[in-house]
A and B are shown apart, each in its own frame.
Chain A
């Protein structure tokens, strides 16, 4: 019998979607590789796109660009029945809020994916009992989720994810709703199930996972520019300085000319946000808080800007006039 590899390869993955009428780029040109049997960690704060990447890996979301390959399967090329088959047999999902079906017992929850796939009731029952035994819930099989602790519910969810013995297990913030004792149980379990023939990818903001992981993919957005760096940028009229959704680099101060900020809407139109003239600065929140750009900046005429890394900008901020709002910088010393 030949073993199937669960190696994961993500090439230049870009995911965009529309929210509140705006086009949002959740993931921009992501590249990732993980080997068969590893426990890989997608580490980063809320909103950095971890769950979005998991959804794509699990075949629940189609990326805007890029490719995902799991072993021999080109996940991003699957459609219709093949995609359902992939979701059903190749991926197990562990959700943040457990997402067990409240009306079913622990055993029935684990049986559900098998029964939905058309497995015989007896086989599904045997497999569910075997897995619940493995996660230490032999005496809780007949309990409904409401009668189980958070840790027990998450263990049922792990058993459910394992039911088809999938190549890939994706877990979204699996310890988010657990106390420290339960966290330990679940971490141990996830470590155990990452074994040859199965890759486990965990999305979390919980740094405690780090020592257990074979691979850590840090998704925390970083400012592109070094903190102390300063640059001068010259733009022609209509030229774009940065796009809505781009990674942050500098805080810009206009030396001459002008900049208009606008948001790109899903229908291709623009929604004006603000305009800036000589001596005014803009775009400071992105580099300082490591957030993607929230608007696009475009020159309204021939413009010269001075870009400051976050530390360089803060060093000069004491000379600001106009408090914390957009204001004018005093002439450089």
Chain B
């Protein structure tokens, strides 16, 4: 049966290739979409992880400092620092802004205001760490190199360092500035912050405030992207259907062409079950080859997308599993046709 299946694939190579290439393109887009959806999470985890703290203090009722606009006095950090279980505490400011590069290009950014050397301050991967006012450390996605000047609002900054993979809200790069510069941009210089970040485990939080874990902050960070993720999920389901239809259509046409062959095989004692198995096997082989090609294609296509695309090993394994199911589902129409073939047709 396997010989028959493989020989037929060889014999109808062109037809088979069309199904495989069509399905591979669909699978590749599926992988990219999965990567984009997953990328929303990964970038949030990377950015929150880079702050390297244990807790985030925000006003009570606020679900997180990134997606909700709320303020608290920056001086609260001193009070918290004296609390039991707290090793370090520092205020942070975050705001969405536009950066104007020296070439006049505007770049959408997320500004994080931090105290140099305190929790939340970045460690530059290239250049120097943030030390003084009007200095900045930027994600390389801004295309601002170390030593370049740029402006945010009416303030001029100099890039002293660069970091990688610090984005959130769908690939918007982070620009670190000093707390005071950020307060000037966000609060007209008032000594306010959006959150106080802590190292250690605070035993008590002042009345009117609440402590969030890193995971709660990540969840809050990706919440504005829920709509986009739902759209992606819907498109993904549709893409699976398209892939099944592509493979199914080719398999069905191939089965129609081979009705006489199936009748002959039944007439010489072949069981419907084993013939059907061969047909399913063809669809599964087509889907799995398409999945392999799609995996390679997705790696090649990933750099073309301006948002983080995170395709984990799990996504490839899921693709293989779902491709298997797609292959089986795709062959159902052809199977039904083949099971109905009357062996007497061989005489026709």
Contacts and interface: CB of A to CB of B under 8 A. Distances in A.
Given A84-B269, A108-B7, A101 B347 contact: no
A103 B11 CA distance: 5
A93 B346 CA distance: 10
Contacts of A65: none
A61 B267 CA distance: 11
12 contacts: A58-B267, A60-B342, A60-B343, A84-B269, A88-B268, A88-B269, A95-B264, A96-B347, A99-B260, A99-B264, A101-B264, A104-B7
A103 B1 contact: no
Nearest to B268: A113
B125 interface: no
Given A95-B264, A99-B264, A101-B265, A116 B1 contact: yes
Contacts of A103: 4, 7-8, 10-12
B268 A55 contact: no
Nearest to A161: B268
Nearest to B260: A99
B345 to A, nearest CB: 9
Contacts of B1: 115-116
A160 B268 contact: yes
Contacts of B271: 84, 116
A95 B271 CA distance: 19
B346 A112 contact: no
A55 B265 contact: no
Contact of B347 (A87, A89, A95): A95
Interface in B303-348: 342-344, 346-347
Interface in B224-242: none
Contact of B268 (A51, A93, A108): A93
B3 A60 contact: no
B11 to A, nearest CB: 3
Interface in A93-142: 93, 95-96, 99, 101-104, 108, 111-113, 115-117
A168 to B, nearest CB: 13
Contacts of B268: 87-88, 93, 112-113, 116, 160
Interface in A38-88: 51, 54-55, 58, 60-61, 84-85, 87-88
Nearest to B345: A60
A55 B3 contact: no
> For chain B, what secondary structure do more than half of its interface residues adopt (helix, strand, loop), or is it mixed?
helix
A93 B11 CA distance: 25
A94 B274 CA distance: 22
Interface of A: 51, 54-55, 58, 60-61, 84-85, 87-89, 93, 95-96, 99, 101-104, 108, 111-113, 115-117, 160, 164, 172
A246 to B, nearest CB: 25
Interface residues of B, number: 23
Given A102-B261, A108-B7, A113-B269, 19 more contacts: A51-B347, A60-B343, A84-B271, A87-B267, A87-B268, A87-B343, A89-B269, A93-B268, A95-B264, A99-B260, A99-B346, A101-B261, A101-B265, A104-B4, A104-B7, A112-B265, A116-B265, A116-B271, A160-B268
A107 to B, nearest CB: 11
B270 interface: yes
Contacts of A84: 269, 271
Nearest to B262: A101
A103 to B, nearest CB: 3
A101 B10 CA distance: 13
Nearest to B269: A88
A169 to B, nearest CB: 12
A101 B4 contact: yes
Contact of B269 (A102, A111, A116): A116
A27 to B, nearest CB: 14
Given A51-B347, A60-B343, A93 B267 contact: yes
B344 A60 contact: yes
A113 B274 CA distance: 12
> 5 tightest A-B contacts by CB?
A88-B269, A103-B11, A116-B270, A113-B268, A103-B7
Contact of A172 (B3, B4, B347): B347
Contacts of A172: 347
A95 B269 contact: no
A54 B348 CA distance: 12
Nearest to A170: B347
Contacts of B342: 60
A55 B347 contact: yes
B161 to A, nearest CB: 64
A89 B10 CA distance: 30
Contacts of B343: 60, 87
Contacts of A99: 260-261, 264, 346
Contacts of A61: 344
Contacts of A89: 269
